[in-house]
Amino acid sequence: MRYGFVIDQRSCIGCHACTVACKEEHEVPLGVFRTWVKYVERGSYPETRRFFSVLRCNHCDNAPCVTICPTVALYRRPDGIVDFDSSRCIGCKSCLQACPYDALYIDPATHTAAKCNYCAHRVEVGLEPACVIVCPEQAIIAGDLDDPGSRIAQIVAREPVQVRKPKLGTEPKVFYVGADAAALAPSLQEPAGGFMWSERSSHDVSLSAMLSEALMRGAGNGSGGNGDHERGGGGAAAMPASPGLARPVYDVPHMAFPWGWKVSAYLWTKSIAAGVLFLAALTKPDYVGFLSGYDPVINGAGAPLITLTFLAATTALLLLDLKRPERFLYILLKPNRRSWLVRGSWILIGYGFLATLWFVAAVTHRDWFQDWLSFPTALFAAGTAGYSAFLFNQAEGRALWRSPLLLPHLLVSMIIAGAAALTIQSALARGGLAEPFITAAFVFGLPLHGFLLIAEFSGKHANRDGALAARLLTHGPWRVAFWGGVVIAGIVLPLVFAPFWEHPAARTLAGLVALAGLWIYEWIWVKAGQAVPLS
């Protein structure tokens, strides 16, 4: 049994009866929607036509929201319905990033995620979903796709149907009959500054203006027209300019940036926490061979204190970003082991334990214990920095974040951040035996960081949405921060201080500006990844 929907766009009159019925049935608060109707127009007067798009959860057979949810609040039932248990939700908003159809929202009353659940409580007693029974044109058909005798199965078998973003591999079960391609794909729609019968927030208007400017500039390379974020690779084609795209004239509000500065800061603090003990572990005698004697930077309590401080900051930022922080322990008590939020939490706990042991070894002057800890510490440090690449890869709605270069970029950022922090510490401690190794890691990491930026933002992208998001960074509203803050201040300027490395002030300043450059990059990268609309 696999329940699904067919939306017959040839019959839909855009009356919003389905939206109202859904709100009434589920007591959906004002400002958020489980199902909604979007109006899109094509052509020029007098040859103009309006299309209606009924949008909602697609109840995917391979639902990315189920995979990423850390507490099994989202789950796929045996009948194919993707349902939601709000009592388990911690409000991490990861499902909003994973869903490529913009179907989830944060309920302002419960502070948990919510979405269409196919009116499962009605289906269980033999009734149809509320939206189906109120549609005056019978444009919404629900039923079992596995039953060849059902009306929905017969329509899907005989009619030319479409699904939204088919190349993603999510296997959506909302099928459209007679729909215009531009009405289903936001990449074929011109960013709108306003809608009829509704006002947009100044934030949404400015975001639309940014996207429109990027499109008018012919934003780089992308995969042609439908904007699907493929799970695999893909070719690239020129991104179309704004003229000729369909015009959305009515839509509902959506949360523009579910993840904000706290997630950016979490990536930054985590890279510092991971990098410090990663480099400290590599400088132990068994691995490098030149460190003979006590080094206040590596053997002292300073390095593990830096790590534990920034690990504590990372944990605090994760908690602050949750809508239901009091349920944080559900990640450990009710875990979804497929989610990299859960796996990352285990890695952070393990790394924190090793950092604590390193601190104990430092204050008790047991250098042999640090030697013994060095390999597992380096391994967990790399895992602490790198697990976010797998987490962001599960955010299938965001094309920019799913780059194959993200893992090496996070590891290089870890090396730079750790070297910068240890460089500042060594300047304050008036040097140390491991200072040449730390300096080499710092000076080597910066050009590698620049090389990865070039590879990421000058090459072809797997699809059009990724190309547009990259264009927003390099030539859009964040171009000053990218070129001035990330490239010049964060990479070039620290290297300028290299000839003056014997001066503690120069090393301190170089470390500080490098860390600032990494923070700016994380901030604009997280923002740009969410700037391209999903619906």
**SS3 track for 467-496:** HHHHHHHHCCCCHHHHHHHHHHHHHHHHHH
Instruction: Name the percent of the chain lying above pLDDT 70.
Output: 87
Confidence of residue 431 (pLDDT cuts 50, 70, 90): low
- 298 and 179, same structural domain? no
| Residue 127 included in any domain | yes
Q: Same domain for 171 and 268?
A: no
pLDDT of 220 higher than 50: no
Per-residue model confidence (pLDDT) at position 248 = 84
User: Which of 297, 279, 296 lies closest to 288, judged by CA?
Assistant: 279
Domain that residue 113 falls in: 3-184
Per DSSP, 246 falls in state: B
Residue 88 has pLDDT above 70, yes or no: yes
Of the candidates 421, 276, 318, which has an alpha carbon nearest to the alpha carbon of residue 70?
318
Q: How far apart are CA 533 and CA 524, in angstroms?
A: 17
Structure-token pair, residue 29: 């608060």
- The verdict on 162 and 272 lying in the same domain is no
In a domain, 239, yes or no: no
What pLDDT is attached to residue 232? 38
CA separation for the pair 456, 118 (Å, rounded): 40
279 and 401 housed in the same domain: yes
> Do 129 and 266 lie in a common domain?
no
Task: Report the pLDDT value the prediction gives residue 436, as an integer from 0 to 100.
Answer: 79
Q: Is the residue at 318 inside a domain?
A: yes
Q: Quick one: pLDDT at residue 237?
A: 33
449 and 350 share a domain?
yes
Query: CATH number of the domain that 515 lies in?
Result: 1.20.1630
Q: Are 165 and 100 in contact (CB under 8 A)?
A: yes
Report the half-sphere exposure of 366 (CA within 13 A, side-chain side). 11
Judge residue 172's burial from the number of C-beta atoms within 10 Å of its C-beta, 0-12 exposed, 13-18 middle, 19 or more buried.
buried
Mean pLDDT of 301-312: 94
Indicate if the pLDDT at residue 504 is higher than 50. Answer: yes
Does 287 lie in the same domain as 178?
no
CA angle 75, 73, 164 (to 5 degrees): 50
331, two tokens:
């990640």
SS3 content of the chain, % helix, strand, coil (to 5): 50, 10, 40
Do β-strands 221-222 and 237-238 pair in parallel, antiparallel, or remain unpaired?
antiparallel
Q: Decide: residue 123, CB within 10 A, 0-12 exposed, 13-18 middle, 19+ buried.
A: middle
Same domain for 175 and 283, yes or no, is: no
Residues 496 and 451: their CA atoms lie apart, in Å, by: 17
Q: Choose the final residue of a domain: 168, 184, 200.
A: 184
Is 295 exposed, middle or buried, given 0-12, 13-18 or 19+ CB atoms closer than 10 A? buried
Q: Which of 163, 184, 205 is the last residue of a domain?
A: 184
**Average pLDDT for 250-259:** 87
Q: Is the pLDDT of residue 206 over 90?
A: no
Residue 249 lies in a domain: no
Full DSSP string of 50-83: EEEEEEE----TT-HHHHH-TTS-EEE-TTS-EE
User: What local confidence, expressed as pLDDT, does residue 71 receive?
Assistant: 97
3-state SS of 150-197 is CHHHHHHHHCCEECCCHHHCCCCCEEEECCCHHHHCHHHECCCCCECC
- Do residues 276 and 160 share a domain? no
Same domain membership, residue 178 and residue 68: yes
Does residue 438 have a pLDDT over 90? no
How many domains, in total, are found in the chain?
Answer: 2
Give residue 230's pLDDT: 42
285/174 same-domain check: no
Kind plus residue range of the DSSP H or E element containing 250: strand 247-250
Q: Of 2-11, 120-129, 183-192, give the lowest mean pLDDT range.
A: 183-192
Residue 37 sits in a domain of what CATH number?
3.30.70.20
Which pLDDT value is given to residue 239?
Answer: 39
Show Cβ contacts of residue 322 under 8 Å, excluding neighbours closer than 6 positions: 90, 91, 92, 328
- CA–CA distance, 248 with 192 (Å, rounded to integer): 6
Average pLDDT, the chain: 87
Domain boundary among the residues 122, 150, 184 is at 184
pTM of the model: 0.90
175 occurs within a structural domain: yes
Could you tell me the pLDDT band of residue 493, with boundaries at 50, 70 and 90?
Answer: very high
Evaluate if residue 32 carries a pLDDT over 50.
yes
**What confidence score (pLDDT) does residue 299 get?**
75
Q: Does residue 230 form part of some domain?
A: no
Helix axis angle, 464-474 to 504-529, nearest 10°: 140
| Segment 384-408, tens digit of pLDDT | 999 999 999 999 989 999 999 999 9
Residue 253 lies in a domain: no
Could you tell me if residue 461 is inside a domain? yes
Q: Give the residue-averaged pLDDT of 448-461.
A: 89
Query: What's 408-445 look like in SS3?
Result: HHHHHHHHHHHHHHHHHHHHHCCCCCCHHHHHHHHHHH
Answer whether 324's CB lies under 8 Å from 111's CB: yes
Same-domain status, 145 and 290: no
Task: State the average pLDDT over residues 193-216.
Answer: 62
Confidence class for position 471, pLDDT limits 50, 70, 90: confident
